[in-house]
Structure 1
């Protein structure tokens, strides 16, 4: 059930199994530290969907991420046995993964032969999320394709950059919120909504609830459910107003988001109304965000231009330009940008 959930991205099940997943990963890591690993090859035979196989074959020197816990064998013949079983399935490509593991790797991979139900298979288990560099892809005479892979670690530049990105964005104490953010970044809107709602059930701090309502509104907007999105934005605003939040920029951003929704719905007058509210909120208490205000004026100019109100649009563009020039040095690229708009 676990590996199926990992492969098919059933995040609701993964959330329920999160403690088990962590413990299994920790046990593999602990076993990995106990034993020295000489550089060696491990093998896995299986049937692979043709589309997945083609992506691997066309991505030589690229990265292959395995989302589930990966069982392999130190015996090549064991891998070939499982690969041969897939030869009779016309919907699958029979593959043998030949995995090179460096003795200095820090990626959790452990010899579990003594724990396995099948001692003769000499089983080794990789933790979930292991990433491999794709090497050669060659076909044996019997029709089995051999995919050469090399286990990567944190020294891989592409992998390190990706991991650092997710580490920075997945640091919240609320596990559901971390899942929601991940789904949001993957544009998995329904799953993101599911975890935002779960996070909302346990969150008590008004500031964090306000953020959750705001994020739910963004998700609903992406789903085209504009009325529900507006309702969530207003809930976010109500909390800020009830608690007398002095974060003017925060309120302005929410007003801007509401205006953007009205723009999508072609309700131009309402959009202008909320863009103006955003400007007022941003300028409140001398807390104004000049870059945001300049953008808001430009947004209004776009709507006025769409409505054929060219003189008013030009005035808004001039306001936006004036604000930007206050904090940008004279730059021909800025002038050219606005001149193009005027023309």
Structure 2
């Protein structure tokens, strides 16, 4: 019998993904088509996070698809199957962080999906993501922090990921998963890994200085929401943006990465994202987010995203009509008019269906 792997939330070897953004151009002058690929990836994840977090919860079908995916992934794991059954019976939205921090099937699958940009699984987990976000938002708004304060995270990191951060000092960094930290630097250091025992990974200690309560995404001390109530764990929402202050290697061979979150970062990110969103005719939703890639002329990415939506929203005729119309517009931009007409016709058919 295979047991569920216990998740270490302060350090997960190799399981780490970030998006970075750096530009010498003032943010108010940046446009979608002026973005390089690294910048576009950063913006895409910010937009994706926003539409996931603010997408209204419609039916219980999302959880059904999520659990179906979990059961398939853990089909040979009887312990996980029991945990999935328990979740289906007992879960309520006010227990999201409890389940996320519990050694179970959820956190591994969710963080893997976010880290590897597995859109299908991410969409299936979207209601659970919203529940975690709502708990963080509620806890954050009801907690009085003394600013500034500092949190820490120990991490074993792929050398290529570390190189990316070193080359973006002074720029922005966004973590592509929910991001756990500790108030204790010593506890975090114990999770930084041993460079000599793990020669293919670098030992990293993040020091994160929080200077503002107005972060672009919520964070909170989850001691009383967590499965592990003995730890002072500060959990940051996926998509939280920091500035990389410096990256240096200490005598102990541990890399020390200083991040800062202040009003300056918040205002710059708000201005950047407002400028990007203003380029779209309509407000971005989960249904038309592929328009970002469409606007950039990256038609294959736009079509892949939209076709994935067709699978996820197959029972929602209104959504299916919107998505088919969007696919038609993409093919029209590619001058594939025959294919475009097929999708336009399908959109009209769905729109007029009872």
Give the TM-score category using the shorter length: 0.5 to 0.7
User: Is residue 171 of structure 1 aligned with residue 171 of structure 2?
Assistant: no
Change (3 A) 1:234 1:135: same
The 2-side partners of 1:101 and 1:218 are apart by 47
> Could you tell me which of 123, 126, 133 is aligned with 2:236?
126
The 2-side partners of 1:105 and 1:65 are apart by 16
Change (3 A) 1:12 1:184: farther
Residue 218 of structure 1 deviates from its aligned partner by 5.4
RMSD: 3.3
Structure 2 counterpart SS, 1:91:
coil
Change (3 A) 1:213 1:6: closer
Aligned to 2:170: 61
Aligned to 1:23: 131
Higher RCO (CA-CA < 8 Å; seq separation 6+): 2
User: Is residue 139 of structure 1 aligned with residue 246 of structure 2?
Assistant: no
Structure 2 counterpart SS, 1:178:
coil
The 1-side partners of 2:223 and 2:154 are apart by 17
| Alpha-carbon contact 1:113-1:122 (below 8 Å) kept | yes
Residue 157 of structure 1 deviates from its aligned partner by 4.5
The 2-side partners of 1:211 and 1:122 are apart by 48
Aligned to 1:233: 340
User: Is residue 212 of structure 1 aligned with residue 322 of structure 2?
Assistant: no
The 2-side partners of 1:178 and 1:52 are apart by 30
Change (3 A) 1:154 1:17: farther
| Alpha-carbon contact 1:200-1:209 (below 8 Å) kept | no
Segments of 5+ residues of structure 2 without an aligned counterpart are 1-108, 350-354
The 2-side partners of 1:132 and 1:145 are apart by 18
User: Is residue 10 of structure 1 aligned with residue 118 of structure 2?
Assistant: yes
Aligned to 2:304: 191
Residue 158 of structure 1 deviates from its aligned partner by 3.7
The 1-side partners of 2:120 and 2:220 are apart by 28
Larger radius of gyration: 1
Structure 1 counterpart SS, 2:193:
helix
| Alpha-carbon contact 2:294-2:330 (below 8 Å) kept | no
The 2-side partners of 1:167 and 1:68 are apart by 23
Segments of 5+ residues of structure 1 without an aligned counterpart are 243-343
Change (3 A) 1:199 1:183: farther
Number of equivalenced pairs? 233
Residue 230 of structure 1 deviates from its aligned partner by 3.8
Residue 200 of structure 1 deviates from its aligned partner by 8.1
Residue 115 of structure 1 deviates from its aligned partner by 3.1
The 2-side partners of 1:239 and 1:15 are apart by 23
TM-score (norm 2): 0.57
Change (3 A) 1:94 1:195: same
